[in-house]
Amino acid sequence: MGDYRKMWSDLNMDLEKHDVLCAVLPELYGSVYLNQENRPEGMNYFNFVVSEVHGLRIEELANTKTEGNKVVGTFCVFVPDEIILAAKATSVGLCGGSQFWIEDGEKVLPRNLCPLVKAIVGAKLSATCPYFQSCDMLVGETTCDGKKKAWEILGEHVPIHVMDLPQMKRERDYESWREEIKLFINKVEELTGNKITVESLKESIALANQKRRALKRLYDLRKNIPSPISGLDSLLISQIAFYDDPERFIAKVNELCDELDERVKTQNPDERKRILITGTPMAIPNWKMHSIIEELNAQVVVEETCTGTRYFENEVSSNGDTLEDLIKNLADRYLKINCACFTPNDGRAQDIIKYAGEYKVDGVIYYNLSFCHTYSVEYKKVEDELKKNDIPVLFIETDYSSEDSGQMKTRVEAFLEMI
């Protein structure tokens, strides 16, 4: 990594503590990622992005801010990036996936709370995440209780706009989500000083769709037997999608897919078990579940999560001549996401069954972050539906620590033998 200390210091970061964080990542990345055999050449770009995760990309954000542009931080795939991009601002996904931030989060939050929420708050309070420090505004949403209340704490430190996400999908909920998107447009216009027009919104819709298409192309390639790319590498790409420059990201994913297209022509089928992961998101650098599965010589071939299919499935239509039309298109696409925060949420089990067939999976692992109630309660319904369809499923509840890794490995091993 280059010397970015001045930049970090300008961002009011706790440099000493940040050094400790920076010392952990390369070792973790090396042991999880660089030890994999036969990785595609195209992964070199993503290795580079990780090696510069707190460096070059932050410098790019700093440069765009010097030019007068704004940086907006988000935490949920329901927040429409298109609005942020249409106002010439940069969007960064801020969900925290590191155990490093838990301790600081627990200083102000109860211990028995989802690690994702604790890491989000810990990252801000410890002043060790340069993405948080670069943001001019955060955007929260009314999804789960933990996040909803965490916005109040974060709001003491940085301006935050909260989108009121409906929890049902009736016509009146669509209407209210459209209104919420309008309020968001006003807020972003106010922050950036840039008016969102039909033209700029159509452009950003096209860009966000291109990104979705590139990810979909990557996921479609994973339908091959074997998948020409590991689950770990695909997960990393999905995680990077949340903060990389969108145009460059699209180009690099497509380049990688060109290489994978060639790979599938020459590879032979293998016997590795194919696993679908469903459940709560895995924010960078949370690679725990995938690394356990793939160390056991199985392949994760698809994730029905927000760091997986929920992020890129369904494009936003650009049909229409007015802002009102485009807002409706946005609301329609975003409310197709099947998150357990909704009731009912029957579409999710149907999605899992559909993907299980398309990706020819041998079994499903239901990954649940500890204390995430919406997903853990929804397990029963999903399990019942999967059983009806003869799809084996294993429920794993875990956090970011490595304490239970041995136990998880034993359970996954037994599951793989059984399926």
20, 16, 23: which is closest to 1 by C-alpha? 23
User: Cβ of residue 195: shortest distance to ligand BJ8, in angstroms?
Assistant: 28
Q: Which is nearer to ligand BJ8, 240 or 306 (CB)?
A: 306
Taking the CA atoms of the chain, what radius of gyration do you get in angstroms?
21
- What percent of the chain is helix, strand and coil (3-state, nearest 5)? 55, 10, 35
Element spanning 250, H or E: helix 246-266
Among residues 116 and 316, whose Cβ is nearest to ligand BJ8? 116
What CA–CA distance (Å, rounded) separates 327 from 201? Answer: 9
CB 216 within 8 A of CB 250: no
Residue 106 Cβ, how far from ligand BJ8 at the closest point, in Å? Answer: 15
Closest separation in Å from C-beta 346 to ligand BJ8: 16
Nearer to ligand BJ8, 202 or 212 (CB): 212
DSSP of 146-160: HHHHHHHHHTTTS-E
Q: Considering the complex, what minimum distance in angstroms separates the CB of residue 357 from ligand BJ8?
A: 23
Residues, the chain: 419
> Which residues bind to ligand BJ8, rule: CB under 6 A?
76-78, 114, 116-117, 143-144, 146-147, 280-281, 306, 337, 339, 341, 369, 372, 374-375
Q: Which is nearer to ligand BJ8, 90 or 286 (CB)?
A: 286
Nearest of 58, 4, 48 to residue 26 by alpha carbon: 48
Of 299 and 376, CB closest to ligand BJ8: 376
DSSP 268-300: ------EEEEEES---TT--HHHHHHHHTT-EE
Q: Which two tokens stand for residue 90?
A: 């940069």
The residue (of 15 and 108) whose beta carbon lies closer to ligand BJ8 is 108
**Rounded least distance, CB 147 to ligand BJ8, Å:** 5
Nearest distance from C-beta of residue 186 to ligand BJ8, angstroms: 22
